[in-house]
Structure 1
Amino acid sequence: MTDDNRLRRPSAVCSLHLGDLKVSYVPDGAMLLKPTGLLPTTAATDWTTHATHLNDTHRLVANTGGLLVEHGPRALLIDAGFGPRAVPEDPAHPHRGAMHGGALPGSLALLGRSPADIETVAFTHLHPDHIGWALADPPLFTRATYLVPKAEWDTREHTTAPLEHRTELVLPGDEIFPGVHALALPGHTAGHTGFVIASRGTRLLAFGDALLSPLQVSHPEWSAVVDEDPYQSERHRRRLITELLEPNTLGFGIHFADVVFGQVLRDGSSAAWHPIGARAL
C-alpha cells in the first residue's frame, strides 16, 4: 500500500539497478498543478474520491527533473528539468500553479556525477519543463550531444536555438545508449517519445508525459489539457499501459510525485500504479 504522503510531496534522488544498468531520478524542482484544469474531463467528485493525491492547497504535486542512466563509466540523461528559474502561481492560469527548478546540478553531484560526465541528453519532447538546463547560458552540459525525436523537432514551437548546433535526430526504435531504445508515444506532442531501458531480461519504460499522474493508469480516458491531440494521447496511453502490464516491466513517471518508479498491476477490472522500492540518497 502506498504511503499517502508520498503522493503529496516531490521525489528526492533515488536509484535502482536494472541488470547491468543503474537508473536514477535526478530532481530539479517541482510543479503544483490544478487538478480539474489539468484533467478537464474530471469532476470535483473525482477529486473527493482521490483526495490523497492532492496537497493541502488542493494541488497535484509534480516533479521536474531527469532520469540518469549509467552503464559503467558512461552516462545518459533523459530530459533536463525546468532550469534555474521559478514561476509563481497565477490565480488566473487554468491549470498551472507555482513551478521551480534549479536543483539538477546538485542532484547529479549526490549521484557522484558532474554535468561534464553526461555524454548524451535525450528529450522525450521539447516542453520547457523538460529542456530547461539544456538552454542554460553558459551551457551546463559541456560535452553532451542532444537527441531529439525527429517528429518533435519537425513540429517544434518553442525556442530551441541553443540546441541546434548540438542536436541529432532520433527515430522510433533507434538505440541511443546501451540497452536504451526510443518508443514513439505521440499525442502529448506530435513527436512525444518514451524510452525503453532494458538489461538482463528486465525493462523500464520511461514514458515522459504520456502519463502525468498515476491516476491516469486507472483512468486512461483522462487526457490532459496540455495534450495537443487528446484522442491520440489516450490511444497511446492505453497501449503504454498494456506494455507496462507485461512481466518483468517497470515504469518511470517523471511527474509522479514521490512514486516515480513503479509497476502497473491489475486491480480488479482496471490497472493501477504500484510504487516499487528505490534506494533514496
Structure 2
Amino acid sequence: MSNSQRIDDEQLRDEQLRLRRPAGIRSLQLGEVKVTYVPDGAVRLTPRGWLPATTDEVWAEHAAYLDETGHLVASAGGLLVEHGDRALLIDAGVGPLSVPAEPGNAVGAIEGGALLDSLAAIGRDPGSIEAVAFTHLHTDHLGWAYHPAPGTDGPAFTSADYLISEPEWTHRHLAKEHGTNEEILAALEPRVRTVTDGDEIFPGVHVMLTPGHTAGHAAYVITGGGRRLIAFGDALHSPVQIGHPEWAATVDHDTEQSTAFRRRLVEEMARPDTVGYGMHFADVVFGRVVHGAAGEGATWEPVDA
C-alpha cells in the first residue's frame, strides 16, 4: 500500500468516525467574528423513528451515519459568537440531564451538562454573555437558560437577554407537546425579548425565520470576513438530510413547511463563501453543501477553518 493510499484510507476512517460521535469544541474565524461550538452533550436518535420516511434499505445504504448501536448521533450544545469582548450564545444545550433510552421512543439516551465546562475551557465567563438567542423552544436548546448553575439558584447567564422569534413565543403553548412545560416557560419569560425576520441582534448576526420544525423556528445568519455562516438549528438534524431534504423529522410541526425550508437552506448553503452550522450534526457541525457532478445529490463537506 502506498503512503498516499494509506493517508486516503486514514482520512476516510476519520470522516466516518466523525459522523458517529458527538462534536468537541470547534471554532471558525469570520473576519472579526469568531464562532465556537461549545459542547453540552449528545442525543441518540433512532433513524427510522426520527426520519419516518426512511426505510431499512435506506439505512443499509447510509450505515456510515449510524453508531455501533444503530443510532444517529446528535450533538447538543451552543454556538458562541464573539466580536471583540462581546459575546452572544445561540442555543443553550440540554442542561445537566441524563435520560436513558426507552423502547419505542424516537429519541434514545440523552446526556447533557458539559456546556459550562466547555465555556470555561475556552476562557469565556457565562456571566459575560450579553444575550442567548434561541432557534426554538424545545428543551434540548434551552437547557442552561432555565437550569440553575451549580451552587446557585439561577441560570449561569446572569446578564443575558433571551432572544426568541415573535411567532415562536406567541405560539409557545405548542412547545408543551415536546416537554417545555409551564415552569420552564415561566423561568424564561422575565428575560425574553422577541425578535423578527431580518433583525440584527449582534454585530453581523441577523435573524432568518425558518418555520416548520416549530411555528416560529429561527435560523441566524452570521457574516464576516467575506463569508457567511447559517446557524440553522433543527431545520436539519443530520447531514444525511442534505441529500434528502424531503425527509422530515417526526416532531416537525408542519412537515410541508419544514421541507420547503430544508430545500431552501440546502441551496443557500451551496452558494459561494457560505458555511452551515448544524448543532445536531454529530462531529461535523460546520460544513458546506457540495453538489455532485451530472446532477448527483448534495452532500455535506466538513469545514474546519
TM-score per shorter chain, which class?
over 0.9
**d(CA) in 2 for partners of 1:174 and 1:161?**
25
Q: Which letter maps to 1:237? A: R
Aligned to 1:49: 61
Residue 224 of structure 1: which of 249, 254, 265 is its match? Answer: 249
Residue 87 of structure 2: which of 75, 98, 102 is its match? Answer: 75
> TM-score, normalization: structure 1?
0.97
* Amino-acid identity (%): 56
* Aligned positions, number: 277
Structure with more helix by fraction: 2
- Kindly provide the CA deviation profile for residues 61-100 of structure 1, in whole angstroms up to 9, marking residues without a partner as x: 001100000000000000000011111000131x110001
Q: CA deviation at 1:277?
A: 1.6
Residue 163 of structure 2: which of 138, 147, 150 is its match? Answer: 147
Aligned to 2:6: none
**d(CA) in 2 for partners of 1:231 and 1:37?**
18
> TM-score, normalization: structure 2?
0.89
Q: CA deviation at 1:200?
A: 2.6
Aligned to 1:201: 226
Aligned to 1:276: 303
Aligned to 1:168: 193
Residue 9 of structure 1: which of 6, 11, 21 is its match? Answer: 21
Structure 2 runs not aligned, ≥5 long: 1-11, 149-153, 174-179
- Conserved? CA contact 2:289–2:299, under 8 Å: yes
Correspondence 1:29-40 to 2 at 5 A: 29-40=41-52
Pair 1:235-2:253 in alignment? no
Moved more, 33-42 or 130-139: 130-139
**d(CA) in 1 for partners of 2:165 and 2:79?**
17
Look up the SS of the partner of 1:3 in the other structure. helix
Correspondence 1:126-137 to 2 at 5 A: 126-137=137-148
Q: CA deviation at 1:140?
A: 1.2
**d(CA) in 1 for partners of 2:113 and 2:125?**
15
Pair 1:264-2:275 in alignment? no
Aligned to 1:100: 111
Look up the SS of the partner of 1:126 in the other structure. coil
RMSD over equivalenced CA pairs, Å: 0.9
Moved more, 135-144 or 35-44: 135-144
Q: Which letter maps to 1:30? A: A
Look up the SS of the partner of 1:8 in the other structure. coil
**d(CA) in 2 for partners of 1:189 and 1:277?**
30
Q: CA deviation at 1:276?
A: 1.2
Q: CA deviation at 1:111?
A: 1.1
Structure 1 segments of 4+ aligned residues over 2 angstroms from their partners: none
Q: CA deviation at 1:119?
A: 0.6
Residue 112 of structure 1: which of 118, 123, 146 is its match? Answer: 123
- Conserved? CA contact 2:26–2:304, under 8 Å: no
Q: Which letter maps to 2:56? A: A
**d(CA) in 2 for partners of 1:194 and 1:3?**
26
Q: CA deviation at 1:3?
A: 1.3
- Kindly provide the CA deviation profile for residues 171-226 of structure 1, in whole angstroms up to 9, marking residues without a partner as x: 00000000000001110001000000001321000000001000111001101101
Look up the SS of the partner of 1:183 in the other structure. strand
Structure 1 runs not aligned, ≥5 long: none
Correspondence 1:172-191 to 2 at 5 A: 172-191=197-216
**d(CA) in 1 for partners of 2:254 and 2:20?**
28
**d(CA) in 2 for partners of 1:272 and 1:255?**
16
Look up the SS of the partner of 2:75 in the other structure. strand
Q: Which letter maps to 2:253? A: E
**d(CA) in 1 for partners of 2:167 and 2:109?**
30
Q: CA deviation at 1:136?
A: 1.3
Q: CA deviation at 1:21?
A: 0.5
Q: CA deviation at 1:242?
A: 1.1
Aligned to 2:72: 60
